[in-house]
């Protein structure tokens, strides 16, 4: 299915054809011109110049919209242009909204994005700490369980963890790619790509088969910010490509938020700076639900969770913790080892270890690479 007019489709394929030349243009010093993708076709071709310009003009003369639509059908990709009713209205606030969105998956869900239902972009570093991965997953899972769309870029690290959390909870996920929507990137996330495509939406402004270029990553970041009501930087160094998304969101007047991290961690320097600059602080999914819908909003509740996630929620709900379990968790959070846990709880070592194993099985604890227990973010 294609809900894109011929002119918009031609422009989108032109950008794909000029992608390598655009990379050469933007990779030169002092040539990172803002608004390049907003230029009319002839001006864009002129900005590229050289052999790329010649190729672009030949492409425009030879473009066949019928053949382009046939390629979309072969790739199982849908297209919607900015003149169509199904095009997300929130993207029109961009100075250079994509002429066409190429989509794979449950594309009808993308058209629903707007003030309601809300969508949250979760972004961050490709080299996160265990804490950052945990927070990204729990935020994605909590939002997904509440029916809130989670938007990210499918990148390694924070992006992938956020999407896994959302998909595991049966929530709606939108992955915005820097290459074509039929090209999983990175390849190591192919399985996650397939899971999102099966129940969510894969989105790109690049046509099918198109590889990603360095310039197309910040370009796709503006789409994530444009689709989202809130952009959350979970963990990011400073500088970081993830912060580009927050800049786009701020320019659009959308809410920017960040997860606080250790002040001594390089991974958290960028996200902590955002908090110092006035970004909203996020410590759990409920903070985001409160921001979107008002304090105390719970969403559809546990009954909406898939059976596997529901079983875990039933086992790990905070209501089942007694005073002894709370003392053990407090001891671990204070940095005490097994001896300290025993002293704080009054339990013999054997019983303390058994209790720690039960808390790990319920999801309240996890073990790090050295085997030490750590309290999980979901149940703080």
Pairing status of strand 78-81 against strand 100-105: antiparallel
Task: CATH 3.40.50.450 in the chain: give the residue spans.
Answer: 66-293
In the structure encoding, which two tokens stand for residue 23, read together? 């990379």
CATH code, residues 317-379: 1.10.10.10
CATH code, residues 66-293: 3.40.50.450
Nearest 5°: the CA angle 28, 33, 34 is 145
Q: Is the dihedral of CA 80, 85, 87, 91 positive or negative?
A: positive
CB 2 within 8 A of CB 78: yes
Dist. CA 78–CA 270, nearest whole Å: 36
CB 21 within 8 A of CB 215: no
In the structure encoding, which two tokens stand for residue 193, read together? 């790509």
Between the two ends of the chain, the Cα-to-Cα distance in Å is 46
| pLDDT tens series, the chain, 380 aa | 578 999 999 999 999 999 988 887 776 543 444 578 888 999 989 888 888 888 889 999 999 999 999 999 999 999 999 999 889 989 999 989 999 999 998 766 565 555 455 799 999 999 999 899 999 999 999 999 888 999 999 999 999 999 999 999 999 999 999 999 999 999 999 999 999 999 899 999 999 999 999 889 999 999 999 999 999 999 999 888 889 999 999 999 999 999 999 888 888 999 999 999 999 999 999 899 989 887 765 555 433 434 433 433 443 344 457 788 888 887 777 777 778 888 878 888 888 888 887 887 777 777 766 667 777 765 55
Task: CATH 1.10.10.10 in the chain: give the residue spans.
Answer: 317-379
Dist. CA 307–CA 29, nearest whole Å: 53
Nearest 5°: the CA angle 35, 37, 38 is 65
């Amino acid at each position: 299915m294609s809900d894109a007019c011929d002119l918009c489709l031609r422009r989108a394929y032109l950008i794909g054809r000029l992608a390598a030349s655009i990379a050469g243009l933007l990779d030169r010093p002092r040539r990172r011109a803002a608004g390049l993708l907003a230029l009319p076709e002839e001006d864009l071709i002129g900005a590229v110049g050289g052999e790329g310009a010649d190729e672009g003009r030949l492409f425009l003369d030879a473009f066949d919209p019928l053949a382009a639509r046939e390629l979309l059908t072969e790739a199982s990709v849908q297209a919607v242009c900015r003149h169509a009713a199904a095009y997300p209205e929130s993207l029109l606030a961009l100075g250079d909204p994509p002429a066409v969105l190429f989509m794979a998956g449950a594309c009808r869900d993308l058209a629903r994005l707007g003030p309601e239902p809300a969508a949250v972009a979760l972004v961050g570093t490709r080299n996160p700490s265990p804490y950052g991965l945990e927070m990204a997953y729990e935020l994605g899972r909590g939002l997904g369980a509440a029916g809130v769309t989670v938007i990210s870029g499918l990148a390694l690290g924070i992006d992938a963890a956020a999407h896994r959390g959302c998909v595991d909870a049966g929530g709606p996920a939108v992955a915005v790619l820097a290459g074509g929507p039929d090209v999983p990137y990175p390849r190591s996330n192919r399985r996650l790509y397939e899971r999102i495509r099966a129940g969510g939406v894969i989105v790109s402004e690049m046509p099918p088969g198109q590889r990603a270029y360095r310039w197309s990553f910040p370009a796709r970041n503006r789409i994530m910010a444009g689709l989202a009501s809130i952009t959350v930087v979970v963990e990011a160094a400073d500088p970081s490509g993830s912060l580009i998304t927050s800049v786009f969101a701020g320019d659009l007047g959308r809410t920017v938020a960040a997860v606080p991290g250790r002040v001594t961690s390089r991974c958290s320097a960028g996200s902590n700076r955002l908090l110092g600059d006035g970004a909203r602080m996020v410590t759990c999914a409920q903070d985001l639900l409160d921001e979107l819908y008002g304090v105390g909003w719970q969403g559809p509740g546990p009954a909406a969770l898939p059976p596997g996630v529901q079983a875990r929620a039933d086992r790990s709900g905070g209501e089942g913790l007694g005073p002894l379990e709370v003392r053990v968790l407090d001891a671990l959070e204070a940095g005490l080892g097994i001896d300290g846990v025993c002293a704080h709880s009054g339990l013999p070592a054997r019983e303390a270890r058994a209790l720690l194993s039960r808390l790990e099985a319920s999801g309240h604890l996890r073990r790090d690479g050295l085997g030490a227990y750590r309290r999980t973010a979901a149940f703080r």
